[in-house]
Amino acid sequence: MNNFDTKGVCAKNIEFELDGDVVKSVSFNGGCNGNLKGIASLVEGLKVEDVIKKLEGLTCGNKDTSCPDQLAKALKEALINK
């Protein structure tokens, strides 16, 4: 299980598990519960690179980032540290 501490968003951290290059599970701690459960459900089973392409750069309100963008950052970091 990977753990990523978020920056600049309501969710405090993201826990996720990969199976090779596929997202196996995602769990956000804090943040907008229903929306983040929806995002987690939608990305499970997708290739890591596809999730990064879809979510990277998304913003929330006037913030420079968002919970989905933070997930993309977490997945990129996991690929680097693989």
Structural domains of the chain sorted by starting position, each given as residue range(s) with its CATH number in brackets: 2-80 (3.30.390)
Average pLDDT score, the chain: 97
Task: Check: CB of residue 25 under 8 Å from CB of residue 37.
Answer: no
Q: Residue 82 above 90 pLDDT?
A: no
Q: Residue 67 above 80 pLDDT?
A: yes
Q: How many CB atoms lie within 10 A of CB 78?
A: 16
Ramachandran region, residue 9 (left: φ > 0; alpha: ψ -120 to 50; beta: rest): beta
Task: Check: CB of residue 63 under 8 Å from CB of residue 9.
Answer: yes
User: Can you give the pTM of this predicted structure?
Assistant: 0.96
SS3 content of the chain, % helix, strand, coil (to 5): 40, 30, 30
